[in-house]
Structure 1
Amino acid sequence: MALLHERLVPVHDEVVRRNPGEHEFHQATREVLESLGPVVAKHPEYADSEVISRLCEPERQIIFRVPWVDDSGRVQLNRGFRVEFNSALGPYKGGLRFHPSVYLGIVKFLGFEQIFKNSLSGMPIGGGKGGSDFDPKGRSDAEVMRFCQSFMTELYRHIGEYTDVPAGDTGVGARELGYLFGQYKRITNRYESGVLTGKGLTWGGSQVRTEATGYGTVFFVQEMLHARGESLEGRRVVISGSGNVAIYAAEKVRELGGTVIAVSDSGGYVIEDSGIDLELLKDVKLSRRGRIETYTQERGNGARFVATGSIWDVPCDVALPCATQNELDGTHAQTLIRNGCSVVAEGANMPSTPDAVKAFQEAGLLFAPGKAANAGGVATSALEMQQNASRDSWNFAYTEERLRMIMLDIHDRCLTTADEFGTPGNYVAGANIGGFTRVADAMLAFGVV
């Protein structure tokens, strides 16, 4: 664990004291604070103003109960969250996660990361996050609808296109967003398209939004390689997860000449040396919401399912962790390094532990943190907000090109900022500092609020 600048030690200590037991939030804040030493040394006004301390404290934390009735007539109870973390650059913006692991610490870690990610995108959006410990897996459409309607019955009073704009995340896809938007429209009697992003294309959604996080991650990888005079052509790629991020990252890798040889879900992983069949994978995981093992059963010869061990045991040139937080630890990192991996880019939020990040950096791998590499999703959400505000609709090619240019700008800002603050080639420092300075300067301009 890196040492903190002496003026940042009390900031970190206060975060831990004020947020007991929220380990993911502690990890996320420390990772940023470790990068800010050169900033404080060069610009002490950031420490003098306590803007860093204020940045680590959410502007608003909302917790509420979500009662709903299951198909057997029994009343169920879940807990809902919305952390409106920072609005210095625009309305709070960040997804909703429905998963049994969700608690306040997870939502705060995600919201904190979102501040810097949204800042790096260059778009006028602040940072927030929300969700519930509700698990949509195994629930009927009717049960999911009743839960979403109950969730929105409380959430609606806290959101709006100029206030807070949620989107989807783990467990919240097109089905859930449809139910949420329908209830918001019913309660408010307004067709306020810009209040949610990730919507269906027939009711205010944006082209490329479904693909954006995965595509953006791969655009970022391609730029890292271009900076070294290389490309994705002919690279063997391993991707954890098999949801939207992983599948569309795989699609863009294939388009740019790479070969995805392994993907995973919570039950294990699939290896196919000749390349994963993306059409079958989409059918199994996105259309049928099946398990990854089904892919091997239907694919036949050449595809192998592995229920034990780790997908990071598979030798590759490029690794894209696209599943969940802290899925790739120091041991996995050492395995990837030994097996010749040269690029790691985070498609998920904080999927690499601090030990893993340290190992990658010490080994000289190209490593892109999630707040830079996976910013394409929220950037395209901001493009969706632009279209909603202007009552416009852009085609796929135009929107994808906007996304590509945003990811190129993020890459260049990370490299330029890292150079400026004495850490050349360090994408973690570049992302943290580049995201921080834009938000902090706005906060200083607003005074103590």
Structure 2
Amino acid sequence: MAEDVEAYIKNLKETISQRDPNQPEFQEAVFTVLDTLKPVLVKHPEYVKANILGSLVEPERAIQFRVPWQSDDGAYHVNRGFRVQFNSAIGPYKGGLRLHPSVNLSIVKFLGFEQILKNSLTGLPIGGGKGGSDFNPKGKSDSEIMRFCQSFMTELQRHIGPDLDVPAGDIGVGGREIGYLYGQYKRLNGSQNGILTGKGLEYGGSLARTEATGFGLIYYLDALIKGQGDSLKGKKVKISGSGNVAIYALKKATENGAKVVTVSDSNGYVYDENGIDLKTVQQIKEVERGRIKEYADKISTAKYSEGSVWDLDIDYDIALPCATQNEIDGKQAALAIKDGVKYVAEGANMPSDSDAIAAYKDNNVIYGPAKAANAGGVAVSALEMSQNSERLSWSFDDVDSRLKDIMENIYKMSDDADKEYGLEKDYQAGANIAGFEKVAKAMLAQGLV
């Protein structure tokens, strides 16, 4: 049976390579998952017979559309919009919208595929989807962003609904953008609070949604470390990024007794041996919308450098990549290992490339993959959907407590799968298997659809 499974996965990879030859990010995400699912397929030949993976790797629907908008100087522009509705076996499509020049079909498909398993791991009834545009919000005025969002939603609203597909935010899409998107949807369809998540508290948003991914990352990390008989207290942490995920991971890690010594943005990073000051980062990024280099102007003990924070050679214990995909390569992973890193937990989506992941595993670094470690955002998004359905608003503590339970359970599910299949602390494979089995059972029950 093992040989049959090997042949099945090999043929599936060849099919994907032929169908999507120019989608490297999508291929990387899918191929990594397929390799970890071999023991499940050996144990469950019915999944091979029903070609569950053949269906899983093919989106149920991929939508591409043009987004025309006008800048303040009167010029006309056209961007591409995307929504990939990947899998609805366990619930409506759920996944963020990303606004960034790098967005293309490959990126959106990779994110949507990862979202299937991530959403499954939360234990909540949500399927996988993702979307966005190659529009760059940096340097744009509020009016330009409003016009873009209104144009984008004018088309997207045809394809989404509270029980069909519920988008959220991602890179480049925060509270401001969600507000503009929701306003246009409401203008065209009437008030339906459950159509988007990440909304403002005044119109159906959830407390703790802003903090969710960063807090959830630390709740997962804490459970992961405790699972090794260790503690987060006293650990030195390197964080990349300075958006919501990084800021609230910084806050919660510090509250748990760790010392975070770096944050970064797309231009460079700051290093402060005394520990990064949360309020200063929030002032720069959330209030002033400035660049992280300004931190060094405000804090005398901090040093700013251009380039990647993962090229900084210092001793530290924990790496939390919270910026973007493939930000850590094999060489940078080797440097982290030399510097003493024992734990890596991913706050961004697929921030470690395949060479980096191989380096972690070869050197016994405990690795928490994105689909497990950063599932807090979508978990609270699903809790926001529940509140909208009930016309209720839960307290911050109630949402935060549910989030903590969900993240600790994600670690437990991954650990249980790891032990069941004898994976020897391979939490990447454990997360893939735990997420896949729930979706596979649902797909098998629903037949060839």
Farther off after superposition, 145-154 or 280-289: 280-289
Counterpart of 1:407? 407
* Partner SS state of residue 132, structure 2: strand
Q: 2 CA distance for matches of 1:230 and 1:199? A: 37
1:195 to 2:187 alignment: no
1:334 to 2:339 alignment: no
Q: Is the 8 A contact 1:264 1:311 kept in 2?
A: no
How does 1:142-153 map onto structure 2 within 5 Å?
Answer: 142-153=143-154
How does 1:126-145 map onto structure 2 within 5 Å?
Answer: 126-145=127-146
Deviations 1:196-254 (A, max 9, x none): 00011111011111111111111111011111221111111000110000110000000
How does 1:90-101 map onto structure 2 within 5 Å?
Answer: 90-101=91-102
Amino acid at match of 2:371: K
Residues 97 and 393 of structure 1: CA distance in aligned 2, closer, same or farther (over 3 Å): same
* Pairs aligned (count): 445
Q: 2 CA distance for matches of 1:231 and 1:388? A: 37
Counterpart of 2:118? 117
Counterpart of 1:390? 390
Counterpart of 1:170? 171
Counterpart of 1:324? 324
> Once superposed, what is the RMSD of the aligned Cα atoms?
1.1
Q: Is the 8 A contact 1:262 1:311 kept in 2?
A: no
List runs of 5+ in structure 1 lacking aligned partners.
none
Q: Is the 8 A contact 2:81 2:132 kept in 1?
A: yes
Amino acid at match of 2:9: L
Counterpart of 1:64? 65
TM-score by length of 2: 0.98
Counterpart of 1:158? 159
Counterpart of 1:365? 365
Counterpart of 1:15? 16
Moved over 2 A (4+): 3-6, 308-315
Q: Is the 8 A contact 1:415 1:424 kept in 2?
A: no
Counterpart of 2:261? 261
Q: 2 CA distance for matches of 1:141 and 1:360? A: 42
1:87 to 2:57 alignment: no
Deviations 1:82-138 (A, max 9, x none): 000000010000000000000000000000000000000000000000000000000
Amino acid at match of 1:205: G
> Shift in Å at residue 6 of structure 1?
2.4
* Partner SS state of residue 28, structure 1: helix
> Shift in Å at residue 418 of structure 1?
1.2
Q: Is the 8 A contact 2:93 2:129 kept in 1?
A: yes
1:277 to 2:277 alignment: yes
Q: 2 CA distance for matches of 1:397 and 1:414? A: 26
Deviations 1:383-442 (A, max 9, x none): 000000000111111110100000011000000011111213110111111111100110
Counterpart of 1:344? 344
Q: 2 CA distance for matches of 1:5 and 1:37? A: 7
1:305 to 2:304 alignment: yes
Amino acid at match of 1:334: A
Amino acid at match of 1:306: S
Residues 275 and 414 of structure 1: CA distance in aligned 2, closer, same or farther (over 3 Å): same
Counterpart of 2:186? 185
Q: 1 CA distance for matches of 2:310 and 2:263? A: 8
> Shift in Å at residue 376 of structure 1?
0.6
Q: 2 CA distance for matches of 1:110 and 1:220? A: 20
Q: Percent identity?
A: 55
Q: 2 CA distance for matches of 1:403 and 1:290? A: 30
List runs of 5+ in structure 2 lacking aligned partners.
none
Amino acid at match of 1:63: Q
Q: 1 CA distance for matches of 2:183 and 2:381? A: 19
Amino acid at match of 1:207: L
Amino acid at match of 2:262: A
Amino acid at match of 2:152: F
* Partner SS state of residue 279, structure 2: helix
Q: Is the 8 A contact 1:247 1:282 kept in 2?
A: yes
